[in-house]
Amino acid sequence: MPRPVIEPFRIKVVEPIKLTTAAARRELLASASYNLFALRAEDVIIDLLTDSGTGAMSAEQWAAVMRGDESYAGAKSYFRLQEVVRELSGMEFVFPTHQGRAAERILCAVVPLAGKLVLSNGLFDTTRANLEVAGATGVDLPRPGALTAHEPFGGDIDLARLDQHLAEHEGRVAFVVMTVTNNTMGGQAVSMANLRAVSERCRRARVPLVLDACRFAENAYRIQRDEPEGRADTLAATARAMFELADVFTMSAKKDAIVNMGGLLGVRDPALAERIKVNLILTEGFPTYGGLAGRDLEAMAQGLQEVLDPAYLEYRYAVARYLAKRMEDDGLVVVQPAAAHAVYIDAGAALPHLSPAELPGQTLACALYLAGGVRSCEIGDFMFGPGEGRRQLVRLAIPRRVYTQSHIDYVGAIAEDVARVRHRLPAMRVVSAPEHLRHFSATLEPTAPFPAFDD
């Protein structure tokens, strides 16, 4: 027997989980109008809604919190963060922000975007919203069959289409965004070869390259493991090599910095840094705190170092791979290879009796909650509205360092219960929805009752 990959940490503080019955969950879900965002978190047993800001901080991070320097300007905590981020990324100018989208908003405010294009391997929804509000059009150029090809680096950009767009729209492309890992494409990793090729093309076309770097460590780990020509001697050096290829990075620290709130913006160009500073002071705070407390900067600096521990990343990928395999054993189809931060179930394949308009992803997400109090997130036609040929996915995101192996086994068992009755699961109908970002607050109903689940 191969030895199991263990959690490379032990537990010092615990948070009780309230257990609910299937009967109670039936009531709770109806009261939430079948929208999982409307549930109270305490009514969820295993919360896999997102990996954003849901991680567990380490003893060293909590110790760092106590060392936070809360001076308004020039706090020691800022200089610690600056040093760590400069070492990690090689970027000279480092700005904290309250979260990732604030870094995006500031970047979009200081770069002229009206009438421009932004090309990407896959824009995250807040990135797209920020640049479209600023008058640009975001264009995703994922590699063909990104979600179905089962290639090791499904997060890559399609280089042929990138070339074509750069040539066709010369002078109109404001920048290229490479999202690592590629969240909108099943969280798949981006290869170093692809990043290098993009960087070279950007330099030739004089178009800046922006790294949306919130899962930089998970991406670097995959390069280290699966791309011999791409890796450096250490994981940190591989991560650094990814950043070296870019001119700017934005980062939600709620992912791989393993903090509950925070973001970063890093740039090399002094003139751009000046413009960012002005906007940051106007909207977030003085540049040495950027909308965060000194203790937050400390925890972020510490987290950015801890996340590059190969034992931690090996464990993190092992959890996702295990859960993905378990789902497949249960008869479900998942996006492969599994991302580090989530397992994506293909709800369209699981519920072939439902058309995309009948929202099979939302049905499956509701069934996982009814069966075992597992909260996931639909990523399909409910989230985005009707779209041509989109895959109907349910994402089970894995918070960092939060759940144990038995919690993951429990999720596997619940998925098995759901898989057993999948042909009897009802369609969902949207009852009311706001115009924008409807998945957060829409109300829904099933078109027939859900089957009963046992406790």
Ligand X SMILES: *Cc1c(COP(=O)(O)O)cnc(C)c1O
Which residues contact ligand X by CB under 6 A?
52, 99-101, 124, 126-127, 179, 183, 212, 214, 252, 254-255, 263
Whose Cβ is closer to ligand X: residue 375's or residue 422's?
Answer: 375
CB of 125 to ligand X, least distance (A): 8
Q: Which two tokens stand for residue 151?
A: 């290639």
CB of 263 to ligand X, least distance (A): 5
Q: How many other CB atoms are found less than 10 A from the CB of residue 240?
A: 17
Whose Cβ is closer to ligand X: residue 363's or residue 376's?
Answer: 376
Whose Cβ is closer to ligand X: residue 260's or residue 405's?
Answer: 260
CB of 101 to ligand X, least distance (A): 3
CB of 425 to ligand X, least distance (A): 29
Whose Cβ is closer to ligand X: residue 183's or residue 188's?
Answer: 183
CB of 285 to ligand X, least distance (A): 16
CB of 150 to ligand X, least distance (A): 22
> Measuring CA to CA, how many Å separate 39 from each of 187, 335, 395?
25, 27, 17
Give the DSSP H or E segment for 211.
strand 209-212
Whose Cβ is closer to ligand X: residue 283's or residue 443's?
Answer: 283
Question: 343 — phi, psi (to 5°)?
Answer: -110, 135
Q: Residue 64: is it exposed, middle or buried by C-beta count within 10 angstroms (0-12/13-18/19+)?
A: buried
Whose Cβ is closer to ligand X: residue 98's or residue 231's?
Answer: 98
Q: Are the CB atoms for 104 and 128 separated by under 8 Å?
A: no
Nearby residues of 402 by Cβ (< 8 Å), 6 or more positions away: 54, 55, 56
> What DSSP line would sit under 164-197, residue for residue?
HHHHHTTTTEEEEEEESSBGGGTTB---HHHHHH
Q: Is the dihedral of CA 216, 220, 221, 227 positive or negative?
A: positive
Residue showing the smallest CB distance to ligand X in the complex: 100
Q: Are the CB atoms for 104 and 129 separated by under 8 Å?
A: no
Q: How far apart are the first and last CA of the chain?
A: 33
Whose Cβ is closer to ligand X: residue 212's or residue 284's?
Answer: 212
CB of 200 to ligand X, least distance (A): 23
Whose Cβ is closer to ligand X: residue 187's or residue 208's?
Answer: 187
H helix intervals, 245-390: 270-283, 294-306, 310-329, 347-350, 360-372, 381-384
Q: Are the CB atoms for 334 and 343 separated by under 8 Å?
A: yes
CB of 414 to ligand X, least distance (A): 25
